[in-house]
Amino acid sequence: MTKCYDLIVFDWDGTVMDSTALIAGSIQAACRDVGLPEPTDVVARYVIGLGLDEALRHAVPGLKESKRGDLVERYRYHFLAQDESVALFDGARQTIVGLHAAGSLLAVATGKSEQGLKRAMQTSGMESYFHATRTADKTLSKPNPAMLLEIMDELGVVARRALMVGDTTHDLQMARNAGVDAIGMTHGAHPADQLRELNPLMLANNFFELQVWLKERC
Q: Is 171 a catalytic residue?
A: no
Question: Would you say 98 and 1 are in contact if contact means Cβ atoms under 8 Å apart?
Answer: yes
Query: Are the CB atoms for 171 and 142 separated by under 8 Å?
Result: yes
Sequence-separated (6 or more) residues with CB below 8 Å from residue 90: 206, 207, 208
* Total length of the chain: 218
Question: 129, exposed or middle or buried, with CB in 10 Å at 0-12, 13-18, 19+?
Answer: middle
> Residue 1, exposed/middle/buried by CB under 10 A (0-12, 13-18, 19+)?
middle
Q: Which of 11, 167, 171, 181 is catalytic?
A: 11
Q: Which of 186, 180, 179 is nearest to 202 (CA)?
A: 186
- Is residue 90 part of the annotated active site? The answer reads no
* Alpha carbon distance 189, 17 (integer Å): 11
The catalytic residue among 6, 13, 53, 137 is 13
Query: Would you name the residues annotated as active-site residues?
Result: 11, 13
